[in-house]
Amino acid sequence: MRGFGELSFEEAKGRCNGDIYWRRRPQGLDLAMSRIAWRSEDGDGDLRGWLGKDVMGNGDLGGSVGKLNKTCYLKLSEEDRREMSVIWVNIGLIFVLISHGTEASYHEQRDFDQCLSNGPMYYKGLYHLFYQYNPFGPLWRKNITWAHSISSDLINWVHLDHALHPIDPFDINGCWSGSTTFLDGKIPAILYTGIDSQNREVQNLALPKNPSDPFLLEWSKSPHNPLMIPTNGLEPDWFRDPTTAWLGPDKIWRVVVGAQIDGKGMAILYKSKDFVKWNRTDYPLHSSAKTNMWECPDFFPVSVNSTNGIDFSDDQDQFNTKHVLKASFNSHDYYTLGKYVAKTDEFAVETDFLDVVGWDLRLDYGKFYASKAFYDGATQRRILWAWVNESDSDLDSVNKGWSGLQTFPRSIILSKSGRQLIQWPIKEIEKLRSDKVDLQKKLDLKGGSEFEVFGVTASQADVEVTFDVEELKKAELFDPSWVDPQLLCSQKNASVRGEIGPFGLLALASKDLTEQTAIFFRIYKSNEKYIVLMCSDQSRSSLREGLDKTTYGAFVDLDPTKEKITLRSLIDHSIVESFGGEGRTCITARVYPKLAIDKDAHLYAFNYGSKSVKISKLNAWSIKSAQFVTMKGEEYQ
C-alpha cells in the first residue's frame, strides 16, 4: 500500500517500538494475500498500516504479526482503504472458497447454519456483519450465537470469532436477532433478543470491550441485562428483534421491538435516557390487525429528493424525508412508507400493510426474509441484506453441512414517484465481473424463440437486458379478478403462451431446456393503461424431487409506453436475484439444478409470446468467486 510499501523491515520494526515475530506463510498462499492490519491498543483505534510485501523482508516469509509489544501506527487515508481489494489473511488461516456444484460462490455462507443477518455497520474503515449461527450443525437449535464477519469492500469477507455466545441466564437458550446502534462518541452497541432460562424473549445489551479496535473482536454483555422483558400484555414468545435505536430531538433514545398482542402484529416503542433503563410507551409506533407477529422490524429515513442515504443522526427536513417501516411476516418482508414526527413519535402511513390487494409493498417477492438495512456513512448510502433459506430438505442441509445464505448487498433509495423503494446491487459487485459479452446491435426476438448468450460462465453470471415492446396495442385484456400476481404467474408460467410475453431470461438452463429458471414479463391492457407482470418461475428449475419449486410474481409499477422494460439477474449456482424495472420489483429464487450445473449451465434470452419483442441492450459478465477467510482468536494476538 502507498506510504507503507516503501518501508524496510527494520524501519517497520522500529516504528512499532518492539519485536515483530514471524511465521512462515502456508505454501501456495499468494504473498499479496498475506496482509494484516495493525491494531492500536491505546490510540483512537482507526485502521492503520498494512503489513505489505516490501515489509516482509525475506521473500519466503510472510503472513502475520505474531505480537506487537507497542502500538504501531501508519495511518491510511480513506482512498487507501478503498483500494483494499483483498482482506487480511493471517498465518494458519483456513481459506474457504466455495466455487463448485450448486453452492453459491459469491454469496456469503459458512459451514453449518448461517441465518438472519444482524447488526451490519461500517466502523473505522471496516464493514461488519453479525448473523445468527449454529456452530454445531446446519439446523435451528437453542445454541444460536452471533457470528461475526468483516470486510473492506462488502464482497470479500473474513470470518472472526463469534461475538455473542448463549451462556448467561438472560440468553441461555440462544442469542437471536438484533441490531447495532452508535452511541455518543460513535461507540457501537448491540441490542439483541435472548431467550432466557424461563424461555422468555428478552432484550439485552452488549458493548465492545475495546472500542478502539476496528475489528471489534470482543464484546461484553451488560450487567443490567435483561433491559426489556415481556410484561403488561406482551407474550413471552412474541417479543423480539430490536431495531437500530435513534436519538430524538429531546436527546432520548427510541427503539422498536417486534411483537404480537391478541393476534395483532405491532412495533412496540421504548424510550431511554441512558440506553440501559427502557420504558415502554403508551402506544406502539404502528400496528395492524391484518397481520400476525412482526419479526425483524426495521425503521429508517429515506430522502425524497436525493439518491444519497440518510441517517437518523442527520438533520432531517420533514418535507423532504419519508420513513420506512419494514416487518417480516407471512414468509416475506413487507414495508410501508409514511411520515414520522420525532417530537410526538407519531408515524402516519401512506398505505398500510396488505391494504392494496396485489400491489402490497415488499422488499422482495421471492425467497427473501428477515432483512436488515444500515447506513453506510463512508459512501452516504443505505445498504440492505436479507436471509435466503434453503429450498431442499433438512436432511440435505445435514448432508451439505450448512444452510442459508445472505443476499447480495443492495442499495436502497426512494423512487422518483415516491410510491416505493428502489433496490439495486451495490456497485462493488462489479469488481467481480469478467469476460464481458455485449449485443452489438438490436435483436428482434420472434415469438417462440430463444437466444443463447455465449461467452460467459452461465452458472455464475451478471446479466442486464433491456426489452423494447412495440406492439403494445395487441396486449391481452387484464381480468380484474387477477388480484394475486403470484397466483397469476403460477397459472401462466413460462410455458403458457400469451400475446406480449412471456419474455425474459432462462437462467441455469440445461442444453435441452428440461431444466430452467425463467424470469420473465407479461404485459396486459386495462382501461387504456398497461399492466406489467414480472414472474420468477421455478417449476422447471430442477429434475430433482422433493424441492420447493414455488413460482413468485409481482406487478411492476412502470408505464411501457414511456420507458423500456429492464431486467438484471445475478446468477450464482443455486440462487438467482432478479431486479425488474430498474429495481422497482425484486424477486429472489433458490434453485437446485441437477443438469444445469457449472459448465453444463446455459443462459438464454427468450420470447414465448405471439408478438415480437426487441432486445435493445444486453450485457453479460462472468462473475469471479468472492474470497472467504476464517480466522481464529489466537491468530489476532
**178 is written with which cell numbers?**
438484533
Does residue 526 fall inside a structural domain? yes
Lowest average pLDDT, out of 96-110, 243-257, 357-371, 514-528, goes to 96-110
Q: What pLDDT, on a 0 to 100 scale, did the predictor assign at position 6?
A: 33
389-397 long-range CB contacts below 8 Å, 24 or more apart?
389/590, 390/590, 391/367, 391/538, 391/547, 391/548, 391/549, 391/590, 391/591, 391/592, 392/544, 392/546, 392/547, 392/548, 392/592, 393/546, 394/138, 394/139, 397/113, 397/138, 397/139
Backbone angles phi, psi at 359, to 5 degrees: -120, 25
Could you give the number of structural domains in the chain?
2
Residues 6+ apart with CB under 8 A from 4: 12, 49, 50, 52, 54, 55, 74
pLDDT value at position 107?
54
Q: Which domain holds residue 571?
A: 437-623
Per-residue pLDDT for 624 more than 50?
Answer: yes
Pairwise CA distance, residues 121 & 341, whole Å: 25
Q: Predicted confidence band at 136 (pLDDT cuts at 50, 70, 90)? A: confident
Would 38 be classed as within a structural domain?
no
Query: What pLDDT sits at residue 440?
Result: 83
Which DSSP letter does residue 594 get? Answer: S
Question: Which range (29-43, 189-203, 400-414) has the least confidence?
Answer: 29-43
CA 58 – CA 305 distance, rounded (Å) = 55
Instruction: Name the one residue in this structure whose C-alpha cell is 409514511.
Output: 338
Residues 352 and 459 in one domain: no
- How far separated are the first and last CA of the chain, in Å rounded? 23
Task: Tell me the average pLDDT across 340-353.
Answer: 95
Domain boundary among 340, 362, 384: 362
How does strand 405-406 pair with strand 369-376?
A: unpaired
Q: Is the pLDDT of residue 102 over 50?
A: no
Res 633: pLDDT: 57
Whether 578 is covered by a domain: the verdict is yes
Q: Please state, for a pLDDT cut of 90, what percent of the chain lies above it.
A: 73
At residue 633, the 3 state secondary structure works out as helix
Q: What is the widest separation between alpha-carbon atoms in the chain?
A: 78
- Residue 301, C-alpha cell as written in the block: 429515513
Residue 176 pLDDT > 70:
yes
DSSP-assigned beta bridge partners for residue 145: 133
Q: What is the pLDDT averaged over residues 167-192?
A: 96
Whether residue 10 is predicted with pLDDT greater than 50 in this model: the reply is no
Looking at the predicted structure, is the pLDDT value of residue 113 above 70? no
My answer on whether 489 and 605 are in the same domain is yes
Q: Residue 124: pLDDT band by 50, 70, 90 thresholds?
A: very high
End-of-domain residue from the set 339, 362, 385: 362
SS (HEC) of 25-79: CCCCCCHHHCCCECCCCCCCCCCCCECCHHHCCCCCCECCCCCECCCCCCCCCHH
Nearest by Cα to 239 from 182, 196, 302, 289: 196
Predicted confidence band of residue 263 (pLDDT cuts 50, 70, 90)? very high
For position 635, what pLDDT does the model report?
52
Last residue in a domain, options 338, 362, 386:
362
Does the residue 381 lie in any domain?
A: no
How many CA atoms, within 13 angstroms, populate the side-chain half-sphere of residue 188?
Answer: 29
**Contact residues for 626 (Cβ-Cβ < 8 A; gap 6+):** 105, 106, 108, 155, 156, 157, 432
Residue 472, domain member (yes or no): yes
Joined grid coordinates for residue 566: 429492464
Tell me what pLDDT residue 110 has.
Answer: 42
Same domain membership, residue 573 and residue 445:
yes
pLDDT at 95 exceeding the cut of 80 = no
- pLDDT score recorded for residue 105: 55
**pLDDT mean over 192-198:** 98
Q: CB neighbours of 519 closer than 8 A, spacing ≥ 6?
A: 504, 505, 507, 534, 535, 536, 537, 567, 569, 576, 578, 587, 589
pLDDT at 125 over 90: yes
* 382 pLDDT higher than 70: yes
> Average pLDDT, whole number, for the chain?
84
Specify the pLDDT at position 365: 98
In a domain? residue 104: no
Share of the chain above pLDDT 70, in %: 81
In a domain, 236, yes or no: yes
If asked whether residues 443 and 532 sit together in one domain, one would say yes
Please tell me whether residues 358 and 488 are part of one structural domain.
Answer: no
User: The domain that contains 268 carries what CATH number?
Assistant: 2.115.10.20
Residues 38-94 have pLDDT tens digits of: 333 333 333 333 333 222 233 322 333 333 322 333 333 333 333 332 223 222 222
Tell whether 451 and 556 lie within a shared domain.
yes
- Asked if 444 and 345 sit in the same domain, the reply is no
Q: Is residue 498 part of a domain?
A: yes
Between strands 565-572 and 552-556, the pairing is unpaired
Nearest to 142 by CA among 174, 116, 169: 174
What is the pLDDT at residue 69? 29
- Can you tell me the distance from the alpha carbon of 410 to that of 583, in angstroms, rounded to the nearest whole number? 10
pLDDT the model gives residue 229 = 98
Stretch 215-237: mean pLDDT, rounded? 97
CATH of the domain at 602: 2.60.120.560
pLDDT for 104: 58
Residues 355 and 257 in one domain: yes
Question: Are both 527 and 612 inside the same structural domain?
Answer: yes
Predicted TM-score (pTM) of the model is 0.84
Residue with cell 466455495: 98
User: 598 and 495: one domain?
Assistant: yes
* DSSP codes of every residue in 568-587: EEEEETTEEEEEETTTTEEE
Q: Does 345 share its domain with 477?
A: no
Claim to verify: residue 574 and residue 460 sit in the same structural domain = yes
Query: 522 near 610, Cβ under 8 Å?
Result: no
Q: Does 26 sit behind a cis peptide bond, omega within 30 degrees of 0 on the bond before it?
A: no
- Select from 404, 406, 332 the least CA-distant residue to 367: 332
CA pair distance 52, 83, nearest whole angstrom:
14
What pLDDT score does 377 carry? 93
